[in-house]
A and B are shown apart, each in its own frame.
Chain A
Amino acid sequence: MSWDVRDLSDYLVTVGKNGGPIAMMRDERKVMLLGKHTPGRPKIYIYTSSGLPITTITWDLPPPVLLHITPFHLLVLADDGTYRLYPLSFPSCFSQHTLGTEVSELGIVSAKAHDDGFVVLTGGLEFLEVRGWNAGRVGALAPSELRDPPGAWGLVDPERSGSGHVEVLVGSGGTVISLDALERIDQRLSRGPFTHIVPSPNGRFYALTTSTNTLWVVSSDFSRSLSEVDISDFAAGAGVPDQAEWCGDNAVVLRWGGRVVVVGPNGDSLKYDNTSAFILGESDGLRMITSTTCEFIQKVPDASLAVFSPGSSHPAAILFDALDHFDKKSPKADESIRSIRPELSTAVDTCIEAAGREWDVHWQRRLLRAAQFGRAFMDFYNPSDFINMGQTLKVLNAVRYFEIGIPITYEQYTSISPSALITHLLSRNLHLLALRISQHLSIRPAPVLRHWAEAKISRARPDPIGPGSDDEELCSAIVAKFKREGERSVSYADVARVAWEAGRIRLATMLLDHEPRAAEQVPLLLQMKEDKIALNKAVDSGDTDLVYHVLLHLRASLSPGDFFHMLDDSISPNLTPAVNLLQVYAREGDRQLLRDFYYQDDRRTESACLALEEAGASADGEERIDKLRVAAKAFGEEKERAFEAKMADDAHRLLALQTAYERELDHKFSFAGLSVNDFISALLLAGFGKRAERVRADWKVGDKRWWWLKLKSYAKNKDWDGLEAFAKSKKSPIGYEPFVTHLLSLSPPQPTQAASFVNRCDPKSRADLYVQCGDWTRAAEACQARGDRAKLEELRRRAPSGIAQREMDDVLRKMTK
């Protein structure tokens, strides 16, 4: 140990799991020799597991009851319920939370933490649970119904408890009460009172010590007693053990002052004597910190046992031995290999596994060599285990090096995953090592780079001389680093956010400029009140949803005037897409906004079109007339839109006239909404010729259209005399063919009526028209009149048999004469 801590018993100590750091603080409640410690405000010292100082924190709140190290933070809980989370990488940016006024009045008796929260016992003898670290939710557990402070209580964290929730075991009198958020169960025991209650790492057993100095191990449902050991002899006269922990799931470790005793399942024990010590149960063993050493105690792993246990006949042991012989050039090597041939793969695998359990590089190497040696005799071997182990050991050895001081075991490493180890390194600000390990293991280095950049920004204090001089430098350093490490997925936006939160707005903007993902960029820009840039970036991204995000934000935060001003695309033409989107949105969601926008922007045509659309959507005649008038007026204000103004006005006049006629005719007819054509035809059909004429005149309906309308209405009314009179009234501007074809197209067709118009058509087409009317005789005559023999013969071929054909023949004969 590199520190000069002489006596751990003077301190409140906590140790991070999986090779984590050690935090300690002088225990104020103990009487000390003057001069042994520096006076003044209490300080919290954080060391690596090798005793190198990491940082020192000054504590200025009431005395703490709990120190706890999570993978990211140091938690310090004061006895008034205030707690602080110090990020291990930047202790100065801690966050402070409180458990509420009630707790601060009652005070906290004790507290215990797990990976995702902690539980406190308040002065009111109730338990409170805090879930999650940053401003975690506080919830009360079921009422404890305690009358006296418990002799001991244990915490079962959600991962270990059967229910998946936090459970608390409280030693109350002779019994144990288990509590969770919902219920309180008295286990109805009588062995107590208990002095320690500790669940095992796998959660299946509890270790309890009693005031009568018995260690009792019981299954977690208290139904099966596993072992009971009298511990009074282990530390005679020392009374109740100071600490009880599990060493893996196999043994319980008790500590009295500096004496540490490992108690095995059968009551066998091991003793370690130090001046002072602290123990911490890990998932696969136990760490023992003394003033001079940090030791790891564990059950010897099976693989190591197989290789090294004296007299072992395990193939791995023989293989290991064979390597020895081989190195000595002894022929026994070959003999040994032969003897284990069938089990060679087990031997190799076991050697590899054993290498992982070794702390010493020499033995790691030796075991891997044995594996390699054995491999050479195998036909098929998948080397990935071997390679992985080599890689892993390289990483483990690097972090175990005393300057790094993370004594993590292979088991812990595989269970927490490499990325968790990297997080651990980051919390120590060991960026370069983290980066190299990421690269070595082919993990994306993004989190490392990000943490590095954030650390760099938080460390760099703004330049006192001139603001911004170092912004460029910092920005380019960060960008250069990101580029060099070839990592495109690092989010510049995340880094920029840190810069912004640190008050470095200029730097944040500069960093954001490098962010390729607009979706990340824009929200932050809005937060930074860089509205204009945000809008531009959103438009550039082509993501319309992002543009809407900005537009809605601006609409809510700006006055209408400022809002429109910002969107003035005559000043900034690149904003046109945003303006378009605003219109699309407002058309459906905010019509008044759209009207205002068109009005202030002098967009008369658009205003008019809006009014036209509203006119169409209105089912009320009066309202529609009004809207049409508005539209006509708006069109009229634009020079180019004289035609449209006229049309809108016509539309308005038409609707007004239609409603007027409806009124005149006592609402027996419905004209409103018809087009000019349909209106005229409705009037004609109903026999209001005069009115129809008037509409025709008012709207200057052309001759052709008028004739078609008349023709259709006569035909529909089957007014053949009227039609005949109309046909004769004047030379038809549409010719007479339409008379024929239209009458034929009616249902049912009117061939007789149609035929009467054929002789007014062009002589060339008469024959065909007669045929269409079914009048073959006259068709033949028409041909005859024109002397068209070819046509006649064609008709003869097409004619239906019988009379028609005979008549054709007659005419043909006449023509030949």
Chain B
Amino acid sequence: MATNTAGPSRPFRTPASLLNTPPPPSTSGDSESTNQLPTEKPLNLQILSDLAKSALVESLNEVMPIHQSSAIADEKIQGAKTLILDPGLAGPLGLVTDVALLKHQAVDKIFWLEPGPLNVSTRNVVWLCRPKMSHMKTIAEQIKAQQSTVSPNGPLVYTLLLVPRATELCKKVLEDEGVAGDLTIGEYKLEFIPVEEDLISLELDNVAKDIFLNGDDTPLYYSSSALMNFQRAFGMFPRIMGKGDAAKRLTNLLQRHCQSGEEHYSDLELSTEVDGLIIIDRSVDWVTPMCTQLTYEGMLDEFIGIRNAHIEVDPVLIDPQNTSNTTTGQPPQKKRKHHLNGQKDKLLGEIRDLNFAVVGTRLSKVARRLEGDYGGAKNLKSVSQMKAFVGRLGGLQGEQQSLKLHTGLTEILMPITRTEDFNKSLEAQQNLVAGYDLPSQLNTIDDLMAQQAPWAIVLRSLVLMSIASGGIKPKILESVKRDFLQVYGYHHLPLLISLEKLGLLVKSPSSAPQPFPTLRKSLRLVVDDVDDTKPNDISYVYSGYAPISVRLVQCAVQKNAVLSTGMGVDGDEGKREIQKAHPLVGWRGFEDVLGSIPGATVDIRQRLEGSRHEISREKETITTVVFFLGGCTYTEISALRWMAKQVKGRKFVIATTGMINGTTLLESFGDPEPVPLVSHQR
């Protein structure tokens, strides 16, 4: 088992041609000849983005009151308006719109929604927020405060837009506060947001907590509605497969929607572009998020943090003017948000899914090529050559800019991979997953605690230990928990109880079935001979561990890959025949494996009465939608992208309720940090 994987030490053979081809994974391996392959157009997810944008414009201009009374048909918001925005929505909204669009809709000023009086200069006030009770109280306070003062522009017109829907609870709070009659409530149906060409996300927070811990299926309902609208855009999924009880509930909801006779769902036709939906319920696979992600983007998320596809970085790294005149003496500049997008940033598209071990090599290669390209300026012989060079200059500058960013980020990550915390915890994780020498892993965890490594690292390892070994002996568990609370604070006690409730940190022998030890074999989760530089299996994303979730997807769409490593071991990638994807035929062959995992197994066909539907599989590229209910990690996305390259004829669209990693997941299961105590003496 490879334990130390980080560090750009391994050689990597990169087909140079890839650098100039667009980032969608349209080719595989060493193919100079992109044209030979059929152009595999991905599903045009842009539609969803356009829908979200136009819905926003519509919501801002015209509020349809929820209570459709005959007296008022619809009310227009006329004139300039002040927009008050839920900070939690800023990220998701930023992915579908920008300030310019808002200004275009006569938005005069934008404020954050936070307690305190309003300061508006327009007649219209529009709140845009998630349907949270605390927000409603703030809004009620603001309206009441505003009404007690006399405004120079006459009475203000209040509008509240709830995203994605207006809920009974919100209405009740507003009624209780006595302001329900003063404002018009509308909805802004922000559902799937296209984050990348192959990734759509609801960008909801804490979904796993809501569904699996609190038993609040609200996000499940939102998901069903978003998937219904996805089907309105792209046609009905001919097949729905899934694993997990929540996946089953979601499937039932989808079917219910279809049968409800709701007008806009009644005339759906089976899709010709999409062959199915695979729902992976997060509760089926807690192991994957607990492991430390080892892809480039995964590492960025783990150690720097990616929120709504944005990363906070030192402005020096993203400012094209500010070239390396490193500020000495100046105060440290405020970090700036940078949008990580594989379409705009081609270099990111290339390296995001690589194991971090090879990123350094790849970056230096690009650096050398760029240098060569710039050096080419000296050898220009004719005007036409010069013209061609100048034409390329813009592209080169862009590339240089992104090279600078990613080199900078890699420089931040590299020292982390050398720390003891990182290497010890990684070693422990990998051994735990492999089921190797558990007592000594416990010792490692103990050491990490003694050194006060970050709490999430320790707890992630503990959870892994509990899952991988089917629970921890009661005495040991109690003593570890006791130490954990002493080191990191007693406020983590509810978190430990939540983890027990979720079956993530339990004592052995546990009453619940513990499938992991058998899955390790039946799903070939631990792969020893994976090559990080030239992957032959999805397990490269964790340097030797294949995510259960993605293995389950393979059980549905690439059955061979579950059983054995890909054939590219001999390195003759150029000659290797890329196989055609097999059709989606259900869980056939893996029924027993699926059965051994707790939770319902879903496999249904959606067929309209009477119509036989066959997708002609000969020439077309079919898309399969993989929906992660409860969030997914960047490594899972990387693994799916890698899978798409292994066969032709099938693309994936990855849909998720939001992006997660082990730390954010654990944080969501606990109570908020305790507020600082106020001393009575001072």
Contact = CB atoms under 8 A, between A and B. Distances in A.
Nearest to B487: A677
B452 A708 contact: yes
B319 interface: no
A517 B497 contact: no
Nearest to A549: B168
A516 B682 contact: no
Given A488-B266, A581-B216, A589-B133, A651 B165 contact: no
A705 B262 contact: no
Interface string A26-56: 0000000000000000000000000000000
A619 B490 contact: no
A400 to B, nearest CB: 33
Interface string B623-667: 000000000000000000000000000000000000000000000
B370 interface: no
Question: Chain A's interface: helix, strand, loop or mixed, by majority?
Answer: helix
Interface stretch (B72-80, B253-261, B568-576): B253-261
Contacts of B451: 708, 738
A589 B674 contact: no
B168 A552 contact: yes
A545 B489 CA distance: 37
A624 B491 CA distance: 11
Contacts of B224: 542
A673 B674 contact: yes
Contacts of B675: 616-619
B614 interface: no
A704 B447 contact: yes
A702 B443 CA distance: 13
Given A613-B671, A647-B493, A675-B488, A589 B677 contact: no
Interface string B468-510: 0000000000100111011111110110010000000000000
Interface in B494-528: 494, 497
A741 interface: yes
Given A552-B168, A580-B216, A644-B493, A542 B679 contact: no
B522 to A, nearest CB: 32
A618 B169 CA distance: 26
Interface string A535-550: 0000001111110110
A647 B168 contact: no
B134 interface: yes
A594 B478 CA distance: 29
Contacts of A225: none
Contact of B489 (A544, A552, A675, A699): A675
Nearest to B175: A552
A650 interface: yes
Interface string A691-707: 00000000101101101
B490 A489 contact: no
Contact of B490 (A517, A583, A647, A708): A647
A699 B490 CA distance: 13
B490 A654 contact: yes
A584 interface: yes
A701 B220 CA distance: 44
Contacts of B449: 705
A142 interface: no
A588 B494 contact: no
A580 B491 CA distance: 23
Contacts of A670: 679
Contacts of B150: none
B673 A616 contact: yes
A589 B452 contact: no
A585 interface: yes
A214 to B, nearest CB: 44
B266 A489 contact: yes
B260 A517 contact: yes
Nearest to B675: A619
A615 interface: yes
Contact of B486 (A624, A648, A676): A676
A713 to B, nearest CB: 12
Interface in A641-692: 643-644, 647-648, 650-651, 654, 662, 667, 670, 672-678
A172 B510 CA distance: 96
Interface string B554-567: 00000000000000
A701 B486 contact: yes
A576 interface: yes
Interface residues of A, number: 63
Nearest to A588: B133
A670 B682 CA distance: 11
Contacts of A132: 70
Q: Which of B165, B266, B679 has the most CB of A within 10 A?
A: B679
Given A580-B215, A648-B490, A516 B261 contact: yes
Contacts of A585: 133, 169
A290 interface: no
A291 B682 CA distance: 101
Nearest to B210: A584
Contacts of A398: none
A544 B218 contact: yes
B679 A667 contact: yes
B220 A648 contact: no
A159 B678 CA distance: 69
B676 interface: yes
A619 B678 contact: yes
B585 interface: no
A541 B671 CA distance: 30
A677 B452 contact: yes
Contact of A705 (B134, B253, B487): B487
B217 A621 contact: no
Contacts of A347: none
Interface string B207-222: 0001000111110110
Contacts of B678: 619-621
Nearest to B474: A643
Nearest to B493: A647
A701 B263 CA distance: 66
Nearest to A616: B674
B446 interface: yes
B162 to A, nearest CB: 11
A541 B172 CA distance: 21
A605 interface: yes
A544 B677 contact: no
B221 A543 contact: yes
Contact of B169 (A548, A624, A651, A738): A548
B626 to A, nearest CB: 22
Contact of B677 (A517, A546, A619): A619
B420 interface: yes
Nearest to A622: B680
Given A616-B491, A644-B493, A675-B490, A545 B133 contact: no
Given A544-B217, A581-B216, A612 B420 contact: no
Contacts of A546: 168
A589 B494 CA distance: 20
B676 A619 contact: yes
Interface string A582-619: 01110011000000000000000100010011011111
A699 B488 CA distance: 14
B249 A542 contact: yes
A264 interface: no
Interface string B601-641: 00000000000000000000000000000000000000000
Given A612-B671, A616-B491, 8 more contacts: A542-B253, A543-B221, A584-B216, A616-B673, A662-B681, A667-B681, A677-B487, A734-B450
Interface of B: 70, 133-134, 165, 167-169, 172-173, 210, 214-218, 220-221, 224, 249, 252-253, 256, 259-263, 266, 420, 446-447, 449-452, 478, 481-483, 485-491, 493-494, 497, 671-682
15 contacts: A489-B261, A517-B260, A542-B224, A544-B217, A585-B169, A616-B673, A617-B674, A618-B675, A619-B675, A628-B490, A676-B487, A677-B486, A705-B450, A705-B483, A705-B487
9 A-B pairs with the lowest CB-CB distances in the bound complex, closest first: A580-B215, A651-B490, A616-B674, A488-B261, A676-B486, A675-B489, A704-B450, A667-B681, A544-B218
